[in-house]
């Protein structure tokens, strides 16, 4: 009996233009259940307009929120407080400042920051260089080469810093194809 009443209420709310999430929260039901109950309901113009208006409001809010978050993250990256999301384990993030300092010294440059280029994060970037660093023997090097392939047309000089023992002829050819230079990790002092 209770289920029939809940189903009736969910159908009424759907006809008024409520979303599945709104109905499930309002009636404290599972979203899948609500979806099954209201899937055959035809929405009138007012209901469609209400749903579209709510979607646009959510989209605008999410874009605004994303913009604020990106600005905050960029500031925190610049201050060295936060590391970008690059799927590295904690060992890497603890060493990141030291690595950055040594790479800046090696390349005789400053202001290397993590940067997103074409939607892909790179470890150390400035106006002249794009530098990826990895000590992961297989996955890290292959992923770095894939990331460089995505920005092949980028005019800045591109470098991959990694141990020589993990870098063979095939990988070197793949790196040459994407216009990136390999730097042997062993020649960078104390790294």
SS3 9: helix
**β-sheet with 113-117: strand ranges across:** 113-117, 120-125, 129-133, 157-162, 180-184
Residue-level pLDDT at 69: 72
Q: Express each pLDDT in 26-76 by its tens digit.
A: 898 888 999 899 988 888 888 888 888 877 777 776 777 777 777 777 777
> 86-107 pLDDT, tens per residue?
544 444 455 566 777 778 788 7
Q: Which residue has the tokens 């603890």?
A: 94
How far apart (Å, rounded) are the C-alpha atoms in residues 111 and 43?
A: 55
What pLDDT does residue 127 have? 84
- 2-72 and 87-187: identical CATH topology: no
Residues 3-35 as b/e (b if ≥16 CB within 10 A, e otherwise) read eeebbeebbebbeebbbbebbbeebebeeebbe
- Tokens of residue 139, six digits: 């996955």
3-state secondary structure of 176: helix
State the Cα–Cα distance between residues 37 and 19, nearest whole angstrom.
13
Q: Does pTM top 0.75 for this prediction?
A: no
CATH of domain 87-187: 3.40.1350.10
- In the chain, where the domains are located: 2-72, 87-187
Q: Which CATH architecture has domain 2-72?
A: Orthogonal Bundle (1.10)
CA–CA separation, 174 and 170 (whole Å): 6
């Amino acid at each position: 009996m209770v289920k029939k009443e809940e189903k009736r209420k969910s159908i009424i709310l759907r006809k008024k233009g409520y979303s599945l999430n709104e109905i499930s929260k309002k009636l404290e039901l599972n979203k899948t259940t609500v979806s099954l109950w209201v899937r055959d309901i035809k929405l009138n113009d007012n209901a469609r307009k209400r749903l579209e208006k709510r979607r646009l409001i959510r989209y605008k809010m999410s874009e605004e929120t994303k913009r604020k978050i990106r600005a905050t993250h960029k500031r925190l990256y610049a201050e060295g407080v936060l590391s970008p999301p690059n799927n590295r384990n904690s060992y890497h993030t603890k060493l990141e400042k030291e690595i950055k300092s040594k790479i800046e010294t090696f390349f005789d440059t400053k202001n290397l920051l993590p940067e997103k280029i074409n939607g892909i994060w790179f470890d150390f970037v400035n106006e002249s260089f794009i530098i990826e660093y990895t000590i992961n023997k297989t996955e890290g090097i292959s992923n770095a080469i894939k990331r460089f392939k995505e920005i092949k047309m980028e005019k800045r000089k591109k470098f991959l810093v990694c141990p020589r023992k993990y870098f063979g002829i095939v990988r070197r050819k793949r790196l040459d194809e994407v216009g990136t230079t390999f730097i042997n990790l062993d020649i960078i002092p104390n790294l």
